[in-house]
Amino acid sequence: MTTQRRAPEVWREMGLTDAEYARIVALLGREPTDVELGMFAVMWSEHCGYKYSRPVLRLFRKYRESLEGAGFENAGVVPLDEQLGVAFKVESHNHPSAVEPHQGAATGVGGIIRDIFTMGARPIAILNSLRFGPLTEPRNRYLFEHVVEGIASYGNCIGVPTVAGEVYFHPCYSGNPLVNAMAVGVVPLARIVSARADVPGSAVMYVGASTGRDGIHGATFASETLGDDQEEKRPNVQIGDPFMEKLLIEATLEALETGAVLGMQDMGAAGLTCTTCEPTSKSGTGVEIETSLVPTREADMTPYEIMLSESQERMLLYVQAGREEEVAQVFRKWGLNAVVIGRVLQEPVLRVRHRGEVVAELPPDYLTTQCPTYTLQADEPAYLAEAQRLELESVPVPSDMNEALLALLGSPTIASKRWVYEQYDWLVGTQTILPPGAGDAAALRVRGSDRGIALTIDCNARYCYLHPYRGGQIAVAEAARNLACVGAVPRAITDCLNFGNPQRPEIFYQFEQAVRGIADASEFFETPVVSGNVSFYNESEFGAVYPTPTIGMLGVLERADDAVGMGFREAGDVVLLVRPAARPADAEPHFGLGASEYLSVVHGLERGAPDPVDLPTERALHRLLHTLARRRLVRSMHDLSEGGFAVALTECALAHGVGVQVDLPAEAVDHAPRPDAALFGERQTRVILSAAPQHASEIIALARAHGLACDTIGATGGERIQIDWQGARLIDLPLTRCREAYEGAIPRWFST
């Protein structure tokens, strides 16, 4: 092996500190080779090594267990019934999407799909959480348009439906959009595949597309702040081929049927490096590979490039000795590469050869468990105390509540996302029950089971910015509430934690507090975090993004046909509002206006704090909603979130074009002292129901039995939205005007 002393600039450009380089030299007892240095750089990046986030992630019980046991797999798996499990995970592709939005978003979808079928699961659904700057800026429109295009082109081509998601717009994302992709699959519990290499002598088989120079040091790129050199980072962005991925899905699932595949991992971040060191480190084994055997699509690729490339649609399989050809034939039948490039060793060493010459040789643990872990300083941000102060007396009450509601409906964050989801094929696979926009969460049938699943992805970043701990709790609570609103029992979480530079104490404070809020809520709801991703360094010349800990959540429907939508179905139904029986003692004196979309859109203010969520009351609400769906007592259920009661009620009416007339009792809005607080306050643990009149008394009795209040507030019918409060009609609008504002907010930016 050739080693040499280097100038500090060499490892610093790779993202390693001087102290980390000294640690590498101490571990090896020598200077690293070029290949080894590159391998350390990617595996010791925050993106792969979690060197800054690991101490905080221990707050998640499942994560603690994984650290003490075998380590996280490619995705989390939750049992659906006695035979089937559901695999799911969310990951970010933020920086690539900022540099090359189409390919960045497309390969984000491709990568998360591979995490699913690498577990042996057939992918059945995609979700996404997207954040952009205001559409008034041409660059933001460009990023938004091409990110959606990239998601659509990849997902539609591989035949996996995009069934749900969320899109937010805020100036903090102007220089650094967030593109989080979530995928879900179904796997027989007896056929789950681990990312392990337990059997010495087994073959190391490279399958899928050929390796190119795209994506080299992509993991390092994801672990640094975006700067003025974005164009120079284009080579760090991978290039996807969805048709190749479709072939890889089918070939992989067919190969698993042979029983000869002992372990498997997707070549995602860090490429061939991670797929050789992580499985062997977990298994206490080693591996020897020959990089000249790796199929390449460019001439004269070096072993450094081959080990670090993040080219798409590639997997590494660990195959039972003597059965290599049996597996290889399956992949070749699908027109894919399948090459044995090495063997698993008894000795815990990772040895890389190139044309026979050893170019890297080290224990796999040096790249994984020996990654340094840092405990960073966390200081409360200077802005927080001032930003949380909100004096309602200084906020004028609008003279026209109709115009305030129309402004909210026309806000791109609240407005219909039809322009987005109509570009997605959400019906392919024929398992989708509730299409995008029809319910608070997606609902799907599962072939081979009477049960169905519900899926959502959610986070209010403004809440997290103004109260990180409470915002983390609410993100979990609202995701669980969305699932309960379609009739599902919340089961487990995958999270994508998007923050700025963690080495800044105020950013690390946001991260630590938000994770603590997520951990406390998930433990209380018994919805463990079973997989996820951390994305730091989401900053640009405009500053850091708001803390955005996105929550992807899975729920289970005992009967798929129990799924409930959000829209009023027909005239003559009663409308009810379920809420806490008492206002939380620590509730803010702003009646939900603090941190609200109303305050931002109508008054240009982002102040106050979100109302707290009372976890026992919230859990009682989830159980009530599940009971109502199981007993078929309701026709629709929709929770209150951005925009408060008036927006939620309007969304229920617009879903099927059924008008509504309601009269809000004072107690239903916590005796709010002003009309805008009654209409637009964003209070937690509240859901609007509609039901046949004969079921109203039973619904109210069940709510009381669960310790909740339930008010009959009106009826459906007509073609208007009418809301009365304290003897005055605050809202009186035709559905047509509401629809124009709600449906037209996003398309108008792309109509020319």
Q: Taking a C-beta distance cutoff of 8 angstroms, is the pair 634, 689 a contact? A: yes
Is 95 tagged catalytic?
no
Q: What are phi and psi of 358, to 5 degrees?
A: -75, 120
Listed in order, the ranges of the chain carrying CATH 3.90.650.10 are: 60-366, 564-752
Cα separation, 748 vs 752, in Å, equals 8
Q: Determine the pLDDT at residue 716.
A: 98
One of 47, 217, 467, 590 is an active-site residue; which one?
A: 47
Cα separation, 14 vs 23, in Å, equals 15
Q: Determine the pLDDT at residue 642.
A: 97
Cα separation, 549 vs 504, in Å, equals 18
Q: Taking a C-beta distance cutoff of 8 angstroms, is the pair 642, 682 a contact? A: yes
Distance separating the N- and C-terminal Cα atoms of the chain:
60
Contacts of 153 (CB under 8 A, 6+ apart): 102, 106, 242
Superfamily per CATH, domain 564-752: PurM-like C-terminal domain (3.90.650.10)
Cα separation, 487 vs 446, in Å, equals 16
pLDDT at 69 over 50: no
Q: Determine the pLDDT at residue 269.
A: 79
Q: What is the mean pLDDT of residues 222-231?
A: 52
Between residues 428 and 15, the one the model is more confident about = 15
Q: Determine the pLDDT at residue 3.
A: 75
Contacts of 324 (CB under 8 A, 6+ apart): 203, 205, 340
CATH topology of domain 60-366: Phosphoribosyl-aminoimidazole Synthetase; Chain A, domain 2 (3.90.650)
pLDDT more than 90, % of the chain: 85
> Greatest CA separation found in the chain?
87
Q: What is the mean pLDDT of residues 599-608?
A: 97
Give, for 585, the enclosing helix (H) or strand (E): none
pLDDT at 751 over 90: no
Q: CB count, 10 Å around CB of 235?
A: 15
Q: Determine the pLDDT at residue 6.
A: 85
Q: What is the mean pLDDT of residues 323-344?
A: 98
Q: Taking a C-beta distance cutoff of 8 angstroms, is the pair 42, 51 a contact? A: no
Q: What are phi and psi of 58, to 5 degrees?
A: -65, -15
Q: What is the mean pLDDT of residues 285-313?
A: 94
Q: What is the chain's length?
A: 752
Is 47 tagged catalytic?
yes
Q: Determine the pLDDT at residue 425.
A: 86
Q: What is the mean pLDDT of residues 604-611?
A: 96
**pTM, 2 dp:** 0.94
One of 93, 95, 146, 626 is an active-site residue; which one?
A: 93
Contacts of 136 (CB under 8 A, 6+ apart): none
Helix (H, G, I), strand (E, B), or coil: what is residue 619? helix
Q: Determine the pLDDT at residue 226.
A: 58
Q: Taking a C-beta distance cutoff of 8 angstroms, is the pair 286, 342 a contact? A: no
The model's confidence at residue 228, banded by pLDDT at 50, 70 and 90, is low
Between residues 156 and 463, the one the model is more confident about = 463
- Given CA atoms 739, 434, 685, 660 in this order, what sign does their dihedral have? positive
Q: Determine the pLDDT at residue 493.
A: 96
Q: Range with the lowest mean pLDDT among 125-129, 209-213, 499-503?
A: 209-213
The model's confidence at residue 214, banded by pLDDT at 50, 70 and 90, is confident
pLDDT at 73 over 80: no
Contacts of 668 (CB under 8 A, 6+ apart): 577, 579, 709, 711, 713
Q: Determine the pLDDT at residue 221.
A: 47
Among 90, 92, 102, 97, residue whose Cα is nearest residue 176: 97
pLDDT more than 70, % of the chain: 95
Angle at which helices 18-28 and 34-43 pack, to 10 degrees?
A: 120
Which of the 8 DSSP states describes residue 67? H
Among 319, 315, 320, 296, residue whose Cα is nearest residue 306: 296
List, as one string, the DSSP characters of 422-449: TTS--STTS-EEE-TTSSSSEEEE-TT-
The model's confidence at residue 239, banded by pLDDT at 50, 70 and 90, is confident
Q: Determine the pLDDT at residue 234.
A: 44
pLDDT at 246 over 60: yes
Residue 510, class by beta-carbon neighbours within 10 Å (0-12 exposed, 13-18 middle, 19+ buried)?
A: buried
How do residues 634-682 score in pLDDT, each as one tens digit? Answer: 999 999 999 999 999 999 999 999 999 999 999 989 899 999 999 999 9
pLDDT at 233 over 70: no
How do residues 441-466 score in pLDDT, each as one tens digit? Answer: 999 999 999 999 999 999 999 999 99
Give the mean pLDDT of the chain. 93
Contacts of 428 (CB under 8 A, 6+ apart): 156, 159, 160, 161
Q: What is the mean pLDDT of residues 20-35?
A: 96
Cα separation, 54 vs 125, in Å, equals 29
The model's confidence at residue 71, banded by pLDDT at 50, 70 and 90, is very low
Cα separation, 103 vs 117, in Å, equals 21
List, as one string, the DSSP characters of 455-496: EEEE--HHHHHH-HHHHHHHHHHHHHHHHHHTTPEEEEEEEE
Cα separation, 552 vs 367, in Å, equals 29
How do residues 384-419 score in pLDDT, each as one tens digit? Answer: 999 999 999 999 999 999 999 999 999 999 999 999
Residue 503, class by beta-carbon neighbours within 10 Å (0-12 exposed, 13-18 middle, 19+ buried)?
A: middle
Cα separation, 739 vs 650, in Å, equals 9
Residue 222's identity, in one-letter code, is A
Q: Determine the pLDDT at residue 431.
A: 85
Q: Determine the pLDDT at residue 238.
A: 65
Q: Determine the pLDDT at residue 227.
A: 54
Q: CB count, 10 Å around CB of 331?
A: 24
Among 142, 155, 370, residue whose Cα is nearest residue 245: 155
